[in-house]
Amino acid sequence: MTTNLWVVVPAYNEVENLPVVIPGMLAEMALIDVDGHVLVVDDGSTDKTYPVAVDLADRHRRVHAISLGRNQGKATALKHGFEYALAEGAEVVAMMDADGQDDPAELGILLARLADGADLVTGARNHDRKERFVKRVTSKLYNGVTARLSGAPGKDFNSGFKVMRADVARQAAPMMYGELHRYLTVIAHWFGFRTAEVAVQHHERLHGKSKYGLARFWRGFVDLVTVRFLMTYESRPSHLFSGLGLASFAAGALAMGYLMVEKVSGEAIGGRPLLIAGVVLALGGLQLVLFGLLAELQVYSRNRERT
């Protein structure tokens, strides 16, 4: 049976690149045994990206175009793209950038690895990357830290060239916001899906300017903490909040116990900063414990509604 494949292409101010990238992807899919479609998601471009995408859709029945209206970020564009593709019956969802740095001719390599048993396959750009020195260095640092903190296998988490089974896209779509698209492999790994990488070629950007900046590098690390928190404590929030609360309460109780001994010994403790700190730590710890229990109650109620 022919696989229903949708390639989601998020695009922001890529008016010069789409007329090259999209036909290239269509030509490649024609060589593969797939029922292939390309979906261009215009992320609120300020140039003629969306009209060009619509024109491509008018001329090619397997090309589709939607617009977010305003710039909402790559993760949101991918979320809308995934949801659109899944609603159209996609069995495999691919994602590829619109700048021409990914080679459509290597789509078959990624699909072959998917057929070998992986649930998500990343096109890893580890060899001869066509990018500025600063971006290569920060990307290497980012990938190393991500692998260490997440435990997910891989060396190029931020690659925009991926293929995945529909179940992966369906599970990941709700988490596609901010910069969390960078951690799609990590999210899939933590959901229990099998992830893999295959080496791909990396080309120079065809036209236009890169959307990468150092600010995105730091936001990416903040989002890694967010992902780790969500995946670790989503179903057991009290483990975090109650743990912190008990530690805070214990520190406050210890401080007040020490001051009680001082008081019994005849020392004045009314003006001691430690007294204020002890009370704040104890009450704050108690509040965190109660907050953790309320969060657990919320999780319990949500699970009951699902059943």
Q: pLDDT tens digits, residue range 228-244?
A: 676 666 667 777 788 88
pLDDT at 116 over 60: yes
More confident residue, 147 or 256: 256
Q: Where along the chain do its domains lie?
A: 3-233, 237-306
pLDDT of 270 above 90 = no
The confidence band for 174, taking pLDDT boundaries of 50, 70 and 90, is: confident
- In tens, the pLDDT along 10-46 reads 999 889 889 999 999 999 998 888 889 999 999 999 9
pLDDT at 288 over 70: yes
The tokens for 239 are 């483990």
The confidence band for 281, taking pLDDT boundaries of 50, 70 and 90, is very high
The CATH superfamily assigned to 3-233 is Spore Coat Polysaccharide Biosynthesis Protein SpsA; Chain A (3.90.550.10)
Cβ neighbour number for residue 136 with a 10 Å cutoff: 13
3: DSSP letter: E
Greater confidence, 273 or 142?
273
C-alpha span between 100 and 82 (Å, rounded): 21
The whole-number average pLDDT for the span 112-134 is: 77
Longest dimension (CA), the chain: 90
Q: Using the predicted structure, report yes or no on whether residue 269 has a pLDDT greater than 90.
A: no
The stretches of 265-306 forming alpha helices (DSSP H) are 273-306
DSSP reduced 3-state for 170: helix
| Closest-CA residue to 159 (of 185, 135, 134) | 185
What order do you get walking across the sheet with 63-67 strand by strand? 63-67, 34-42, 3-11, 92-95, 162-165, 120-124, 195-199
In one-letter notation, the amino acid at residue 234 is E
